[in-house]
């Protein structure tokens, strides 16, 4: 049985977004699921490992996972309430979460031998702030690291994360990660009261060897390696919205390495192209490899 090269752990959910007052629309989402779907569309065999509900919302997530080419043997459907993000407003962001299907993910049901074939295990999202799921995922991250797999992590700060998340989950996974992406907003929440430089020093104290991709929205991104720093400006496009752009950026950064792009500057450009293409579409759009390669070619 051929198993995926990349396995992404965490939550898949439905965003219930209010447009005009009283008008709601549902979109499958969740940061880990967005990353898994984008990795697959970028040509990396991938799976999303998490639990979704046995209802129309869960069925839609499974259907879109199949359409994106994900290995759905890693997904579990459980008879629980669907996890939803109820987004009352995008500007400013106002949302809350309901449901519990994600919490019933059972690592013992993962395909036999998966960790032997996986090259990358990625962790992110609110799953890491929801117990007992968070503790299970930390244990999987430790097992992956012990097995010699590449571990990547995106803290992806959300409102339900708190001091306990910072002191427990964040400090547990950060030292395990080979690749860490975080935004300027993430950094402010993780290290309140510190300057950007002070916060990065604290992060480096937890993990001195990881590559850290620091994103700045329209101001681009900075890649910090143990011995260098590389800048990548944002790629200007006509923006529909920025939902999921960070997830597309993460997927692009990881995919670039797995697709054999050796040069760090080229990986950054590929990642930035993924984020920009995502911004052209409403919702968390997973960019296709051909579109990303086309945009990158135009930039050369």
DSSP SS3 for 222: strand
- Is residue 299 in a domain? no
Q: Is residue 118 part of a domain?
A: yes
In sequence order, which residues have a C-beta less than 8 Å from that of residue 277 and are 6 or more positions away? 237, 248, 285, 287, 291, 292, 295
Q: Is the pLDDT of residue 198 over 90?
A: yes
Answer whether residue 1 is part of any domain. no
When pLDDT is cut at 50, 70 and 90, the band that residue 36 belongs to is very high
The distance in angstroms from the start CA to the end CA of the chain is: 40
Angstrom distance (rounded) from CA 203 to CA 133: 24
Structure tokens, 296: 């990158």
pLDDT at 226: 92
Range of the domain at 271: 6-292
Q: Which tokens in the block code for residue 80?
A: 């629980």
Q: Is residue 298 part of a domain?
A: no
pLDDT at 90: 61
pLDDT at 91: 62
pLDDT of residue 19: 73
Q: What is the pLDDT of residues 86-137, one digit of tens each?
A: 877 666 667 889 999 999 999 999 999 999 999 999 999 999 999 999 999 9
On the question of pLDDT at 237 being above 80, the answer is no
pLDDT higher than 90, residue 264:
yes
Does residue 149 form part of some domain? yes
pLDDT in tens, 134-172: 999 999 999 999 999 999 999 988 887 888 899 899 999
Between 228 and 151, name the one with better pLDDT: 151
DSSP three-state, residue 108: helix
Task: Label residue 289 by pLDDT band (50, 70, 90).
Answer: very high
Closest CA to 140 of 155, 129, 151: 151
Structural domain count, the chain = 1
Q: Which residue has the tokens 């639990």?
A: 51
Q: Is the pLDDT score of 294 beyond 80? A: yes
Burial track 72-105 (b if 16+ CB lie within 10 A, e otherwise) = eebbbbbebebbbbbbeeeeeeebebebbbbbbb
Domain of residue 205, CATH code = 3.40.1190.20
**pLDDT, position 180:** 98
Contact 10, 31 (CB under 8 A): yes
pTM for this prediction: 0.94
Average pLDDT on 7-27 reads 86
Q: Cα separation of 167 and 244, whole Å? A: 26
More confident residue, 84 or 238: 84
Give the pLDDT confidence score for residue 96 in this predicted structure: 83
> What local confidence, expressed as pLDDT, does residue 95 receive?
80
- Flag whether 297 is in a domain: no
What burial letters (b/e) apply to 200-226, b meaning 16+ CB within 10 Å?
beebeeebeebbbbbbbeeebbbbbee
Question: pLDDT category, 58, cuts 50, 70, 90?
Answer: very high
In 3D, which of 120, 112, 100 has the Cα closest to residue 47?
120
Q: What single-letter DSSP state applies at residue 166?
A: I
User: Quick one: pLDDT at residue 271?
Assistant: 96
Q: Is the pLDDT of residue 39 over 90?
A: yes
Residue 217 pLDDT? 86
Averaged pLDDT for residues 225-254: 87
Question: Does residue 300 fall inside a structural domain?
Answer: no
Count of CB atoms situated within 10 Å of the CB of 130: 22
pLDDT, averaged across the chain? 92
Q: Could you tell me if residue 168 is inside a domain?
A: yes
Question: Mean per-residue pLDDT for 223-236?
Answer: 92
The structure tokens listed for 137 are: 């995922």
Sheet holding 84-90, edge to edge: 24-29, 13-18, 84-90, 93-98
């Amino acid at each position: 049985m051929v198993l995926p090269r990349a396995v992404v752990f965490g939550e898949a959910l439905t965003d219930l977004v209010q447009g005009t007052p009283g008008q709601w629309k549902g979109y499958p989402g969740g940061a880990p699921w967005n990353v898994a779907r984008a990795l697959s569309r970028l040509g990396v065999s991938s799976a999303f490992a998490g639990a979704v509900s046995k209802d129309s919302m869960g069925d839609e997530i499974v259907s879109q996972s199949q359409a994106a080419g994900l290995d759905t043997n890693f997904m579990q459907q459980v008879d629980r309430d669907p996890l939803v993000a109820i987004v009352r407003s995008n500007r400013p962001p106002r949302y809350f979460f309901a449901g519990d299907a994600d919490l019933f993910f059972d690592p013992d049901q993962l395909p036999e031998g998966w960790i032997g074939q996986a090259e990358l295990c990625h962790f992110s999202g609110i799953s890491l702030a929801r117990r007992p799921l968070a503790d299970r995922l930390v244990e999987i991250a430790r097992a992956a690291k012990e097995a010699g797999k590449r571990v990547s992590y995106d803290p992806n700060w959300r409102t339900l994360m708190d001091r306990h998340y910072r002191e427990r989950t964040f400090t547990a996974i950060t030292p395990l990660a080979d690749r860490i992406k975080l935004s300027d907003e993430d950094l402010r929440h993780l290290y309140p009261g510190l300057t950007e430089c002070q916060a990065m020093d604290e992060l480096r104290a937890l993990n001195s060897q990881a590559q850290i991709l620091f994103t700045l929205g329209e101001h681009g991104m900075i890649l910090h390696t143990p011995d260098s720093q590389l800048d990548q400006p944002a790629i200007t496009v006509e923006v529909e919205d920025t939902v999921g752009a960070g997830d597309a950026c993460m997927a692009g950064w990881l995919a670039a390495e797995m697709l054999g792009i050796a040069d760090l500057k080229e990986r950054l450009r590929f990642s930035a192209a993924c984020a920009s293409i995502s911004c052209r579409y409403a919702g968390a759009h997973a960019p296709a490899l051909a579109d990303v390669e086309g945009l990158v070619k135009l930039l050369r």
